[in-house]
Amino acid sequence: MKLKTFLSKSTKIAPHELKAAVTSFVFIFILMASYMIMKPVRDALPSDWGDVSLAQQWTYTFIVSTIAVSIYNVLASKVSPRHLVPAVFIFFALSFLAIFTAYQGGVSVSFLGKIFYVWTSVFSLFHISVFWSFISQQYTKEESKRLFGFINTGASTGAICGPLLVILLAKNMSVEHILIVVSVLLLSILPLIYVLNHESAKKGKRDLYEVKLSPNPFSGFQEFITHKKLLGIAAFIFVYTGVSAFLYSIQTDLLVNYSRAARKELLGSVELATNALTIVLGIFVANRLAQRFGMPTSLGIVPMVVALLLFLLSLNPATILVLVLQVTRRAGNYAITRPSREILFTAVDAEARFKTKPIIDVAIYRGGDVFWIWVIALLGDGWLNLSLSQLLYAGVLVSLLLGAIGIGLGRKHDSEENSFLTTEELLTQEST
């Protein structure tokens, strides 16, 4: 009882919302843990390939991501959301079992490694996108501001526990058997989906899951092109990948003189600090920030802070400062920006949530990766030969642009919400 009271006070979760919120937390915890189990195996592969092969894998990832999203949109036109969401996780579970079977069957390890790299890169965005499509359908705008920050801390908790599970498993099983563990974890999500559907039905939202989406397999793409809000969210994600690319490039340049062991130790510390800070911000800050200051602040504050830190870094490009910047940016994104971005999808229809959202989260994101990595290459060694300080100034501009887009999206969301509330108040007055 004391734990329930503590959770309610610290997270602003009402007692009757606790079951659904905790179930959602466990849901994304399992998803992130399953990915983090595979991530060390995936990240170790490029060391054997070289730069050209790695660039090819990034390009293949973008192509496969776009194809996967297109197939998903076709299926979404034929299957109701109630069945579509569990089908996605069953499919991914079976796909990892298929890779394991191919390995056991003697298929070339080098060839399978490249397939595994691309497919886990697709999975890393796709499974989280589908999760938020499902979750944004479960909660109202008001509920999402209070609950999404807490729910999203499940991802950071999973990111911490996943690598620990890898260490434990590595002592007792070979690397390829980890794929079986991942498949079992993904299938364990199915009862959680049932619980959340049941909780949603208790709130009178059953009709949302019985509705079928448009039979037009291109409706998700059409809505993306014609919907200004969705274009704005896509622009936000596209520019966000630019900020990430600049920081990744700067971090790589500053760590070049460190030994591989020292890099591993520093980046491991960054990972641990990021996840710990994310949990604290997600539980105690994100919900209060959205409720008190509104969506413009929630979506704009982290990019603006990053822009300031990038400018300070340009004055003194020390390794410790770039690592602090990475922790700040990533924790701020995971705890504040990401859940705030997902709140935007509580204000769109089911068509946009289940069809257009994966286009933005997966295809646009991976397209942004490819675009910005080439931009940085051209700005640096490829063409202009900009210095580190000049690259940092470019990063400041990109981060400021991201903050401006976030503030614009937040203002639009809040104005729509206030307009909706005003209409409800007028209808209430008329009825009385």
Is the confidence at residue 180, as pLDDT, over 70? Answer: yes
Nearby residues of 158 by Cβ (< 8 Å), 6 or more positions away: 28, 29, 30, 31, 32, 33, 34, 36
Q: Contacts from 320-323 at CB under 8 Å and sequence distance 24+?
A: 322/247, 322/250, 322/251, 322/254, 323/251, 323/266, 323/269, 323/270
Query: In this structure, are residues 82 and 134 in contact, taking their beta carbons and an 8 Å threshold?
Result: no
Is the confidence at residue 47, as pLDDT, over 70? Answer: no
What is residue 214's DSSP assignment?
A: P
| CA 397 to chain centroid | 23
The tokens describing 141, both together, are 């705008």
Q: Which domains does the chain have, with CATH numbers?
A: 10-431 (1.20.1250.20)
Q: What average pLDDT score do residues 16-42 get?
A: 90
Instruction: Annotate 313-376 with DSSP letters as a single string.
Output: HHHS--HHHHHHHHHHHHHHIIIIIHHHHHHGGGGS-HHIIIIIHHIIIIIIHHHHHHHHHHHH
Give the tens place of pLDDT for each residue, 348-386. Answer: 888 898 999 999 999 999 899 889 888 887 887 667 788
Please give the pLDDT value at position 26.
Answer: 96
What is residue 138's DSSP assignment?
A: T
Nearest partner of 348 among 416, 285, 286, 296, judged by Cα: 416
| CA 154 to chain centroid | 12
Distance in angstroms (rounded) separating the CA atoms of residues 78 and 277: 42
Is the confidence at residue 422, as pLDDT, over 50? Answer: no
Is the confidence at residue 159, as pLDDT, over 70? Answer: yes
Distance in angstroms (rounded) separating the CA atoms of residues 385 and 7: 52
Q: What average pLDDT score do residues 400-409 get?
A: 97
Query: In this structure, are residues 88 and 127 in contact, taking their beta carbons and an 8 Å threshold?
Result: yes
Query: In this structure, are residues 96 and 183 in contact, taking their beta carbons and an 8 Å threshold?
Result: yes
- What type of residue sits at position 194? Y
Query: In this structure, are residues 382 and 113 in contact, taking their beta carbons and an 8 Å threshold?
Result: no
Q: Which residue has the higher pLDDT, 93 or 427?
A: 93
Please give the pLDDT value at position 333.
Answer: 93
Q: Scanning the structure block, which residue is given the tokens 């503030």? A: 407
| Measured distance between the N- and C-terminal CA atoms of the chain, rounded to whole angstroms | 40
Q: Please report, rounded to a whole number, the percentage of residues in the chain having pLDDT higher than 90.
A: 38
The lowest-confidence range among 48-52, 195-199, 217-221, 294-298 is 48-52
Q: Scanning the structure block, which residue is given the tokens 């049941």? A: 198
Distance in angstroms (rounded) separating the CA atoms of residues 373 and 201: 45
Beta strands of 180-222 (E only): which ranges?
none
- 210 class by beta-carbon count within 10 Å (0-12 exposed, 13-18 middle, 19+ buried): exposed
Please give the pLDDT value at position 424.
Answer: 43
Predicted TM-score of the model (pTM):
0.84
Q: What is the mean pLDDT of the chain?
A: 84
